[in-house]
Every structure is written in C-alpha cells, then in structure tokens.
Amino acid sequence: MHNISNNNRFKDQVAVVTGAASGLGLAIALRLLGEGAIVWFWDQNDTLVRKAVSEAGPNAHALAVDITNEAAVAAGFANIIEKHLRLDVFVNSAGIVGPNNRRIIDTPAESYQQVIQINLLGSFLTAKHALLHMQPRNYGRILLIASIAGKEGNAGMCAYSSAKAGVIGLVKSVGKEFAESGITVNGLAPAVIRTPMVETMDPAQVKYMTDKIPMKRCATLAEVASLACWIISPEASFNTAFIFDLSGGRAVY
C-alpha cells in the first residue's frame, strides 16, 4: 500500500499514527511512509506493532503506548521530539467498537466507560500532547478518526456512537482554538470499513450499517488512507475544525 503514491509531499516530516499495528491506522501509516515521512507506529499491542514496523522499512518506528494513560502519551511524544526535534503530523486511529447489536438496556456501564476511555479520552490526551509539541513551530496537522455513527447514531452501538460524537465535538472545539496557529485539527467520519475491528463485530450489526450506504459496499482501506493523507498534508491549509465524510453517499450534509 505504501507504493500507491511517490510524490514525497511528506518528505522530512515526522508523523505519529496510533492504532498503527493493523487496519486503518496501518494503512495511513504505510501511505505516509510511501510519501516520504518518518512515521512512528503507536499501538497498545507491542508484538503486533513491532511486526508491522519490521515489514515497513527504515523510516518506520514502533512504540507501544496506552493512549488512555496521560503519562505514557506524554513520554511517547517527548521521546519523538528528543530524536527528531519536530512533530508535523498526528493521526489518532486507535479505537474499539465495544458492545454492538445490543440495546442500551443490555449494555454494561463498565463496557460503556471503556469505549469512552479509549475512543474519546484517548483522542483528548493524544491531541493535547501533540499540540504542545506542534505549537512552538506554528505548523502541524492533526486528524482524529471519528465515524458516521458519531453524526447519525447507530442503533445497537450506543457506546461507540457516543464516543465518536464526542470526538466530533473535540475536533470542532480544538480546531477553532488553534485556527490562527498554522496547526489544523480535523476529523474523518467513515461509514463501515472492512478492518480487523469490524470483523469482530456481530454480522447483523455490520449488515445494518452496510445497508444504509447507497453504494451498498464498505469503504476500502486505500480509499480512507487517500483522503486522510490529503487532510494531513500541507495542501489542506484552509481546512480546520471540520469533519470529512467518507460514507458512500450515506452522509449528505
């Protein structure tokens, strides 16, 4: 996948991508590598992320980070700044689905809280510390992966829908806070994508989501990586506090 583009628009830039051991995070990280970036693959799964990096080339680096732990997040970014003296791009793709095909009355509070912790608190902590290191250079691109579920709400997924709605609010707020800084903060709201995370879901839930897409198919990882890498490129200089849709026609406003 990292050979899709070879135009070096990220040459000499330093990027961090969370959830980069597999799925969407891996696809974005590989695309960034293919366009010239030095990329740090972050994931909670140390074994998987090191395997991904071992197959990705010399500009790929692995770090096991729990994005719900502020000290770990701070230390991860500090380590990168010490080595490279810069941070240009940050993408938060780490997330879990949690309970699905399950109504709120059947959703345990602990499961709900875990989804909020990883998807929303994790977005807050990583964006906060990325911004601290981008601010001195007055340049940066932050992309938080949201979901169409956060805009419209998916029945059977109250925890995930709530968390991703929170991510959307975070993007709109923080993007405005840094609008004059040279740093953009945006979100991406895909409809269902065939990723390892989706493969673990109840098939009835996946069918419910896919049936809502006018194109009647899932997005591909290449399609998501393509749009994501434009959003985090120098070209997207007048876009901030915005949620980009990638929904095969499901989102129309």
Active-site positions? 160
Torsion over CA: 163, 165, 240, 174 (sign) = negative
In whole angstroms, what is the distance from residue 229 CA to residue 74 CA? 24
Q: Exposed (0-12), middle (13-18) or buried (19+): which is 216, by Cβ within 10 Å? A: exposed
- What are the structure tokens assigned to 242, written together? 């915005």
In whole angstroms, what is the distance from residue 107 CA to residue 214 CA? 30
- What are the structure tokens assigned to 37, written together? 């970036």
Calculate the alpha carbon distances from 184 to 121, 138, 201, 204, 237 in Å: 20, 10, 33, 37, 7
Direct distance between the N- and C-terminal alpha carbons of the chain, in angstroms, rounded to an integer: 31
